[in-house]
Amino acid sequence: MRAEGRTGWGGLLAAGLAGAAALTALHEGARQVRRDAPRMDIVAGRALRRGARATGTSAPRGRRLYATVLAGDLISNALYYAAALALARRAPWAGGGLAGLLAGIGGLVLPQRLGLGRPPRIGRTSTQVMTIAWYLVGGLVSAAARRALTPRPCRAGLLGFRRFVA
């Protein structure tokens, strides 16, 4: 069996979760210190309320809404990054980077097209750059985690002893 396939879906999901956690940490940290930080949590809250209306249920409010949105962001971004890495098994850096770049661009253009309105402060260049950069970072962290979780074959070292290749 090749080394690329040894960790399976568990490794992919763990790598995706690492990227999603990095992305969420960037969003949340910046939200607390920068007025121009991207607010994808607000867009996600709109989507959650819209989904609740469509199903005839009520969306959570206040802190519960915020916690639900964060959990949904973590889960959906983890699955997204894991799927991208699954499609790019032989090139995780390219797959993670491309997935992050596309997610960032999607974060800028899709909310309005999906009827969720404009993301707050999205007209500012700094907000646009942060949005794309942070999703890119999430993709690259996913790729790094995937690389770290993927076992590689041993090679003969000094005097013929086997050593783990990091």
- Comparing 159 with 5, the larger pLDDT belongs to 159
This prediction has a pTM of 0.85
- Rounded to whole angstroms, the Cα distance separating 1 from 160 reads 23
**pLDDT for residue 154:** 62
Share of the chain above pLDDT 70, in %: 87
79-133 residue pLDDT tens: 999 999 999 988 999 999 999 999 999 999 999 999 999 999 999 999 999 999 9
**Percent above pLDDT 90 for the chain:** 81
Domain of 131 in residue numbering reads as 3-163
**Higher pLDDT pick, 151 / 6:** 151
Output the pLDDT for position 160: 55
Question: Which residue is it, tokens 């959906």?
Answer: 76
Tally the domains of the chain.
1
Asked if the model's pLDDT at residue 5 lies above 50, the reply is no
The length of the chain in residues reads 166
- Report the C-alpha gap between 78 and 71 in whole angstroms: 11
**Exposure of 24 by Cβ count < 10 A (0-12 exposed, 13-18 middle, 19+ buried)?**
buried
Average pLDDT for 59-65: 92
Q: Which of 103, 119, 121 is nearest to 111 (CA)?
A: 119
Residues 78/19, Cβ–Cβ less than 8 Å: yes
